[in-house]
Each structure stands twice: as structure tokens, then as C-alpha cells.
């Protein structure tokens, strides 16, 4: 039961960190290829941005993604890595078990696969996002200091 609760807490922390990093990314990295750019500092602006993005054709989305600076392209997978690392680290410490860290990575990989099929994005972004979760979780578990066999 302790492992299950630790995985739930670790997964929630993972989502919170990812959301916070992505929000910060919108504040730090200018969006290119959308005119006018919605005010991304507000929930209404984020909603408008998402609605406009989802209304784009596949070709428009590809052009939009291509127009983004390199840091914008890397920020999303970076947020996935950092969020999963921190969530897995916490889960491992709470449960005193490497299994909790790995479980956070598995949960996030499943979520990442679902997201890759549901959210339109370039293939390389989806592929990078999916392969980042387990290594981040394993690193988080290792840094936690818990025994491997626990």
C-alpha cells in the first residue's frame, strides 16, 4: 500500500512540475508562427492558444512546429524529464523502494504514448517524449539512495 500511495504522490508531483515548467516555458520562450500570439500569461490566453493550435490542419501544425526556436522544441521533453525525475525521486524516498520510482516512469510512459497518439505533434517530439520517462525515473530512483532490490 505504501508503494501505491508513493506512486500516486510521485505521479501527481510529476504532472505539477511538468505543467509549471511548460507554463514557465511559455513565459520565457517566444512563440513564433501564430499571429497574433495570445497572452500566454493567462488561462484564457492559454485556452485560446490551445484552441487555435487544435484547429490547425496537419500541414499548418507542421509549419508552426518548424517555426519554433530550438529551445521551444526541447523544452517540452526537458519538462517531461525533470518532472518525472523529481516525481520518481519523491516516490522512491516515500516508499523506500526503487519499484516506486520505476512505477512512476511506467505510468508516465503510458501517458506519453497516449499523448503521442492524441496530441498532434511532430514525430520526433512524440518519440523523444516517450523515451525520456523511464531513464528519468531510473535516475530519480538511483539519486534517491534506496536499495536496488527493494
9, part of any domain: yes
**Contact by Cβ (8 Å): 14, 108:** yes
Nearest in space to 70 (alpha carbons), one of 122, 20, 107: 122
For 91-117, the pLDDT digits (tens) are 999 999 999 999 999 999 999 888 877
Task: Give me 146's grid cell.
Answer: 534506496
38, part of any domain: no
107, part of any domain: yes
149, part of any domain: no
Chain position carrying cell 518519440 = 127
Total tally of structural domains belonging to the chain: 1
61, part of any domain: no
Q: Residue 30: its pLDDT value, please?
A: 79
42, part of any domain: no
pTM of the entire structure? 0.83
DSSP state of 148: T
48, part of any domain: no
Q: Residue 37: its pLDDT value, please?
A: 73
Whether a cis peptide bond, with omega within 30° of 0, leads into 36 is yes
Range of the domain at 82: 2-29+69-144
For 55-65, the pLDDT digits (tens) are 888 788 878 88
Residue 100 neighbours by CB distance under 10 Å: 32
Mean pLDDT for the stretch of residues 16-20: 95
Query: Lowest mean pLDDT: which of 17-21, 36-40, 66-70?
Result: 36-40
Q: Residue 85: its pLDDT value, please?
A: 98
Q: Residue 19: its pLDDT value, please?
A: 92
For 21-33, the pLDDT digits (tens) are 988 888 888 777 7
Chain position carrying cell 492524441 = 118
Q: Residue 149: its pLDDT value, please?
A: 47
Amino acid at each position: 500500500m505504501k508503494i501505491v500511495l508513493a506512486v500516486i504522490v510521485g505521479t501527481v508531483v510529476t504532472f505539477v512540475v511538468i505543467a509549471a515548467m511548460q507554463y514557465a516555458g511559455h513565459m520565457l520562450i517566444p512563440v513564433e508562427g501564430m499571429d497574433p500570439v495570445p497572452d500566454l500569461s493567462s488561462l484564457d490566453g492559454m485556452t485560446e492558444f490551445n484552441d487555435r493550435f487544435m484547429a490547425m490542419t496537419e500541414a499548418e501544425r507542421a509549419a508552426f512546429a518548424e517555426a519554433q526556436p530550438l529551445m521551444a522544441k526541447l523544452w517540452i521533453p526537458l519538462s517531461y524529464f525533470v518532472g518525472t525525475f523529481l516525481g520518481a525521486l519523491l516516490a522512491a524516498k516515500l516508499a523506500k523502494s526503487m519499484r516506486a520510482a520505476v512505477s512512476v516512469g511506467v505510468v508516465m510512459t503510458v501517458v506519453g504514448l497516449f499523448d503521442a497518439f492524441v496530441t498532434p505533434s511532430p514525430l520526433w517530439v512524440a518519440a523523444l517524449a516517450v523515451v525520456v520517462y523511464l531513464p528519468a525515473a531510473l535516475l530519480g530512483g538511483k539519486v534517491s539512495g534506496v536499495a536496488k532490490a527493494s
